[in-house]
């Protein structure tokens, strides 16, 4: 399994979309030091993402909002200048800080199909954020499920 960590320290961060997220599923998890709605500091729910090489269309999910935090737009077209959310954060209180991974950003000069943009508005208790991005093939998923959950079942 291939994984990388991207630490966010500026308002706009343009980054290459990992090659293992093209025509194959990858998993993205966000870590922050802030409260967003009902969510405390730490790791977010994982978002799964795949971008098709033939069209640059992508699908991701879950596309839902829970406790003041929305996790994904669900689908988009990377490279079309429209900033669809791959993984969002909700807002801090009271000044509405946020950190969002998007497929494009005209403001940050990122509209290429092989790049992503991260925007961070460090307000309130938000001062640090990271994204963990991992390849996710069926074999690796089965292995991880067995590695993490099978020992729990055996011990019960």
Contacts of 138 (CB under 8 A, 6+ apart): none
Supply the pTM of this predicted model: 0.85
Spatial CA neighbour of 102 closest among 90, 92, 93, 111: 111
Burial of 111-142, coded b for 16+ CB within 10 Å and e otherwise, reads bbbebbbbbbbbbbebebbbbbbbbbeeeeee
pLDDT bucket at 156, cuts 50 / 70 / 90: very low
Report the domain count for the chain: 1
* Euclidean distance between CA atoms 116 and 96, whole angstroms: 22
> Which domain range does residue 76 map to?
3-155
How far is Cα 102 from Cα 12, in angstroms, rounded to an integer?
11
Q: For 35-89, how does the pLDDT look when each residue is reduced to its tens digit (9 = 90+)? A: 988 888 988 888 999 999 999 999 999 998 888 888 899 999 999 999 999 999 8
């Amino acid at each position: 399994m291939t994984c990388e960590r991207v630490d966010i320290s500026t308002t706009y961060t343009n980054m290459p979309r990992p090659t293992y997220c093209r025509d194959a599923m990858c998993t993205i998890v966000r870590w922050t030091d802030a409260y967003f709605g009902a969510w405390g500091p730490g790791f977010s729910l994982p978002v799964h993402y795949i971008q098709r090489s033939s069209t640059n269309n992508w699908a991701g999910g879950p596309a839902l909002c829970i406790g003041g935090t929305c996790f994904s737009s669900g689908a988009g077209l990377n490279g079309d200048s429209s900033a669809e959310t791959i993984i969002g954060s909700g807002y801090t209180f009271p000044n509405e800080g946020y950190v969002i991974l998007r497929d494009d950003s005209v403001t940050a000069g990122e509209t290429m199909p092989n790049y992503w943009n991260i925007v961070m508005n460090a307000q309130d208790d938000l001062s640090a954020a990271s994204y963990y991005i991992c390849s996710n093939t069926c074999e690796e998923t089965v292995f991880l499920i067995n590695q993490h959950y099978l020992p729990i079942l055996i011990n019960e």
